[in-house]
Copies of this chain bind each other. A is one copy, B any other.
C-alpha cells in the first residue's frame, strides 16, 4: 500500500505530529503553561524542527486556535440555517450534535475559556473569520427564538436567557466534571459519559418546559 501524504494514525508526517502534539498540550494546559519543549517531546521530535515548520510558538498556537474554533462552531453552523424545525426538534438537533462533539473533544471548552481569558480571543477582532461564524451562529439562534415567540409557539422571554441556558447545560458539565464527580477515576469517567448521553434527551425536554405556554 502506497503512502499518501495524510495517513491516519501514528504514521503522521512530522508536520502533523507537531500539530497534533501542540493541539493536545495547548488544549489541556493553555498557551502560557505550555512550553515549546513539551510540544517537541510529545511529538517525538526536536525543538528546532518545531520552529522550522511553524516559525514561532505564537503562529503554531494560532493555527491550533483556528482549528479548535472551527470545531466548536462548525458542527452547528452547517445545519442550523434554512431548516424549519419545531422548537423541540431544533433543541434535539442542536443539543445532540453538540454533546456528541464534546464527548469526542472533552477538553475543547477549556481551550475556548483559556482563549477568552488570555486575550487571544478578541470579540471585536473583525479580521478573524471564525469569530464571524460565532457571531453568525449567535444571531441565527436569536433570530430563530424570536420568530418562534412572535408566532406564539413558545413563551416570551429574553432570548439571551434561552441561549445561555442551552449553552450552560450542554457545556458546563464538561468543564466542571471534576467537581461534579468529586473523586474522579475510571468508574467515574464511564458514569460521567453515561450521564452526558442521558442529557442529550433530557436537556431538550427541560428547554421545552422552559418555554411551554400552559
Residues of A within 8 A of B (CB): 28-33, 110, 113-114, 116-118, 121, 123-124, 134-135, 138, 158, 160-161, 163-165, 167-169, 171-173, 175-176, 178-180, 182-184, 195, 198-199, 202, 206, 209-210
Within 8 Å CB of A160, what residues of B?
180, 195
Docked-complex contact A169 and B167, CB < 8 angstroms: no
A113 touches B110 (CB 8 A): yes
Partner of A206, one of B165, B176, B202: B165
Contact residue among B114, B116, B158, B161 (Cβ-Cβ distance under 8 Å from A178): B116
Q: CB-CB < 8 A to A175: which residues of B?
A: 113, 116, 175
With the chains together, A178 CA to B161 CA distance in Å? 14
Task: Check if A118 sits within 8 Å of B184, measured CB to CB.
Answer: no
Which of A118, A178, A199 has the largest count of B CB atoms less than 10 A from its CB?
A178
- Contacts known (A206-B210, A210-B209); A138 close to B168, Cβ less than 8 A: no
- Which residues on the B side are within 8 Å of A195 (C-beta)? 158, 160-161, 164
CA distance A28 to B32 in the complex (A): 13
Q: Indicate if the CB atoms of B33 and A118 lie closer than 8 Å.
A: yes
